[in-house]
């Protein structure tokens, strides 16, 4: 007798197919995906918040409350250029090597750091370059 023969199957309430319990939560994967997609289409604002919450948790290990605390600590401004997050979108800046969250930046500053691969030596050279050409 194989292991599969001893497992009691459960029925998905949506499609009525018998599934192994480890592949069935409230619904089977296919029905769950379809129901989630339908809910998202009917609730676009809630879905946007849900997706943002998952991204913050999965990518940065943060909750929305922690991000809000960062905003307050930074006076709702970019940590580099001080642009107001009421005008520009806030991005979570993090070290790509360690994954450690550093601060909230505007998209321009975050993209700029990324373009220089978070290398202080390149940022210093770029700073000198801009200063030199500004003076000449």
pLDDT above 70 for 21: no
Query: Helices 29-42 and 44-55 meet at what angle, rounded to 10?
Result: 120
Could you write out the DSSP letters of every residue in 65-92?
Answer: HHHHHHHHHTTTB-TTT--BTTTS-EEE
Stretch 90-118: mean pLDDT, rounded? Answer: 93
pTM, full prediction: 0.71
Confidence of residue 109 (pLDDT cuts 50, 70, 90): very high
Query: Which stretches of 90-134 are assigned E, i.e. beta strand?
Result: 90-94, 101-106
With a pLDDT cut of 90, the percent of the chain lying above it is 65
Higher pLDDT, 97 or 23: 97
pLDDT above 90 for 122: yes
What mean pLDDT, rounded, does the chain reach?
Answer: 89
Closest to 119 (Cα-Cα) out of 90, 99, 97, 100: 97
Structural domains in the chain, sorted by start = 42-131 (3.40.1800.10)
Q: What are phi and psi of 92, to 5 degrees?
A: -85, 115
For 43-82, write each residue's pLDDT tens digit.
Answer: 999 999 999 999 999 999 999 999 999 999 999 999 999 9
């Amino acid at each position: 007798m194989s292991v599969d023969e001893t497992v009691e199957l459960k029925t998905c309430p949506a499609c009525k197919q018998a599934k192994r319990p480890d592949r069935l939560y409230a619904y089977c994967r296919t029905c769950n995906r379809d129901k989630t997609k339908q809910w998202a289409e009917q609730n676009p604002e809630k879905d946007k918040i849900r997706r943002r919450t998952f991204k913050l948790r999965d990518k940065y290990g943060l909750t929305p409350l922690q991000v809000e605390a960062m905003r307050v600590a930074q006076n709702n401004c970019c940590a580099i250029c001080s642009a107001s997050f009421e005008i520009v979108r806030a991005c979570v800046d993090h070290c790509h090597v360690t994954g450690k969250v550093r601060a909230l930046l505007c998209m321009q500053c975050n993209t700029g750091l990324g373009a220089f691969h978070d290398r202080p030596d390149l940022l210093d050279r770029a700073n000198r370059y801009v200063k030199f050409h500004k003076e000449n």
